[in-house]
Structure 1
Amino acid sequence: MIDLYSWPTPNGQKVHILLEELGLSYKVHGVNIGTGEQFKPEFLRISPNNKIPALVDADGPDGQPLALFESGAILVYLAEKTGRLLPASGAQRYTTLQWLMWQMGGLGPMLGQAHHFRIYAPEKIDYAIARYTNEARRLYAVLDQRLMQSPWLGGNDYSIADIAAFPWCRSAKNQGVDWAEYPHAKRWFDAIDARPAVQRGLAVLAEQRKPLLDEQSRKNLFGEAQYQRR
């Protein structure tokens, strides 16, 4: 059994979707990042970076329990555990990993900043909004160019690279992105969105997520609570 500690954000949804695609048995434990549950000692023992998602696989390598944090590492682990959605060898394996790293190091962080400064920041800073909106549009153009050449990010087959990037693109409007400018990326997005396992993954914990309206939630997510040493 896999114990998943998560919340319905793009990084959490990656793992929710993959677990549903793979048909693995798991128990989900909601970690409400708005109320500060990510700072609890029991969660920090699993995820010392105080970020979701994290998991504990009771049947890890050699039959021993394994705790993992970082969504990209979790995707690779689950794909290799099952032998699915990541080629075992060859060029397509490394192409898939390349696009997974692109999402982890570029698409996710930059779209997150665009979303933050456009939606959540208490002050509207024109420079920051322009900087991250332009970077979001650049990254969507990279995505569109790749998907003009290939049906999926890793090549001919749907993979963990697609699963990693997809949830971040669900808020394109809030990132200042017009899908009409990226038709190949939109074709890819719609194909993923139509998958039943993807819809099941997006439904995980979705009813528990509430709008971030109070000052304490902002402190937990973006303010002083993040920087306390634990």
Structure 2
Amino acid sequence: MTDLKDQILDAALMHVVFDGWSEATLSAAIADVGADAGEARALFPRGPVDLALAFHRRGDDAMVAALTPDALADMKIREKITHAIRLRLELMDQHKEAVRRGTTLFALPIHAGDGAKALWETADKIWTAIGDTSEDFNWYTKRMTLSGVYSSVVLYWLGDHSDGHEATWAFLDRRIEDVMRFEKFKAQARDSKVLKPLMAGPEWLLSQIKAPSKSGMADMPGHWGRGGGQEEG
């Protein structure tokens, strides 16, 4: 049985096209499912913002469920990332206006932090789903780079009217190619006889930064390894 939170979100999707992720949408959704107002609002303490975030996370969860080992078999890393981003958007195609309204909401300064966190969560779920095992500073750079790629592709997709969103997928390929070029440059810089000595200090410093502990630091932006400040959790 669909739980109350999902019922309200389903109902909200019929109103968000007209009223955006707003108080009017939340109130109408609660009325549509006949829920107790107090109980329903306890599920969305910050009202429309939490409703919009629930929609975003539903999309993430659907994407992760579809990124099975069989679906990713024999793919290179860049192919896995491209597939994941394309899948994420295709799953939301019928709710494109809801995505557009969410982009507008999270563009507001008061909600920009929530929007950035949601993007980071999507990038993290993609990397995790495709098997990323990095535990150092690369954990952050991978997610930061992918957040930028994903956000730019979403904006392009929202304005794309080409058949089958072919223009979006071409844009996605170009963005992934840019990332690959940057990664290649980083590798060349590390191997360069000229740059390698200059990179020794910064690389040592960055090597002390560890990925968030899996045992309860999900809300932390990061932490230092032992001997470099904060201890690992």
TM-score range, shorter chain: under 0.3
Higher relative contact order (CA 8 A, sep 6+): 1
TM-score relative to the length of structure 2: 0.28
Larger Rg, first or second structure (1 or 2): 2
Where is the helix percentage greater, Structure 1 or Structure 2? 2
TM-score relative to the length of structure 1: 0.28
Where is the strand percentage greater, Structure 1 or Structure 2? 1
